[in-house]
Amino acid sequence: MFQRLLGKFSRDLGIDLGTANTLVYVREKGIIINEPSVVALNTRTGQILAVGRGAREMVGKTPSHIQTVRPLLKGVISDFEVTEKMLHYFIDRVHADAKGITPRPRVIVGVPLEITEVERKAVEDAVLSAGAREVYLIEEPMAAAIGARLPIEDAVGNMIVDIGGGTTEIAVISLGGVVVWKSIPVAGDEMNKNIVQYARDNFSLVLGERIAEDIKIKIGSAAELEEPLEVEMRGRDMISGLPREIIVGDAQIREALAKSVNAIVENIKSTLEITPPELVADIYERGMILSGGGALLKGLDRRIAQITQIPVRIADDPLTAVVRGTGILLENLDLLKTIAIPSAQDDSRRR
């Protein structure tokens, strides 16, 4: 009874705790935070100087005593203390305009498929320490499928490919569960590194990862474009050590990204190969859904459809599919309790 009363007045949250970006959905309000998962710290005082966009603007530009930290690696916590501070900052922002005493929120967090029990406990502990009263963990492809309004509880095959910053997760979902899946450490960050390496190998130019990401967003593609695109590539010349600018085209960046794109496509194919025939028939008829920031790579849907011979559709606003899925679950607690990952705290108590 008391928990139900708290639930009526608390600002319950859904969080997509991503390697590249953290998004926060507030019940009855929608997505109110969409910030880079970056924290700027003063190493002399331990003080947090900036979180999110402000911290991202400092990347590669700080003096020795200021450090910019990405506390999540491949979707899991690599720096517990910084993650806790980042979550605390975001939860405080949600409650900044609250009048009077607001009950601590119930929080749903999207986590990778490959998460271990230790990593689960780290996420739960960080969210509880940041001010939550209850934590539920949901597999990110499941949350993305719910956010894309797929009928996950029906006896039909739903295939979703969630291409985030640190990982690409490929899942076939039926009857409220993940039937087969693959998770690979090839996603947006790896594509940025591909462009950095390509510039080094072909133009003797040293790029920052932020510049590489901008180039990927502007002209990156997985299939030939109808109209050629060009963009400036600015960096430091490896020979002279001086700044240099060159113009690159979409064909060159497509060549740079080919290794990562091929890895994603091959893993989609190998996931289909181990999927039960009945579900493959459903997927062939219904198609697959792409979500996550990587789904926005130009022509990726066409490339996957061409190779797999399966219709491919990009989710509406693929960047927010996971957090919108957590938002839907905030309104459907029965479904949440059915599909949530068992708590690591419960596992340890049972021992």
Q: Establish whether 214 is an annotated binding residue.
A: yes
Residue 339, annotated as binding a ligand = no
What distance in Å separates the CA atoms of residue 286 and residue 137, rounded to the nearest whole number?
28
- Could you give phi then psi for residue 275, rounded to 5 degrees? -85, 135
Q: Provide the b/e sequence for 12-46 (b: ≥16 CB within 10 Å).
A: bbbbbbbbbbbbbbbbeeebebbbbbbbbbeeeee
E strand spans, 6-94 = 13-17, 21-26, 30-36, 39-42, 48-51, 66-69, 72-73, 76-77
Is 117 annotated as contributing to ligand binding?
A: no
The response to whether 40 counts as a known ligand-binding position is no
Closest-CA residue to 253 (of 283, 313, 297, 315)? 297
Does 19 belong to an annotated binding site?
yes
Annotated binding residue 34: no
Residue 319 annotated as binding?
no
* 216 appears as a binding residue in the annotation: yes
Contact call for residues 218 and 247 (beta carbons, < 8 A): no
Q: Is 230 annotated as a binding residue?
A: no
Has 320 been labeled as part of a binding site?
A: no
Q: Which of 190, 230, 235 is nearest to 213 (CA)?
A: 190
Task: Consult the annotation and say whether 293 binds a ligand.
Answer: yes
For residue 235, say whether it is annotated as part of any ligand binding site. Answer: no
List, as residue ranges, the binding site for ATP: 19-21, 165-167, 213-216, 293-296
List, as residue ranges, the binding site: 19-21, 165-167, 213-216, 293-296
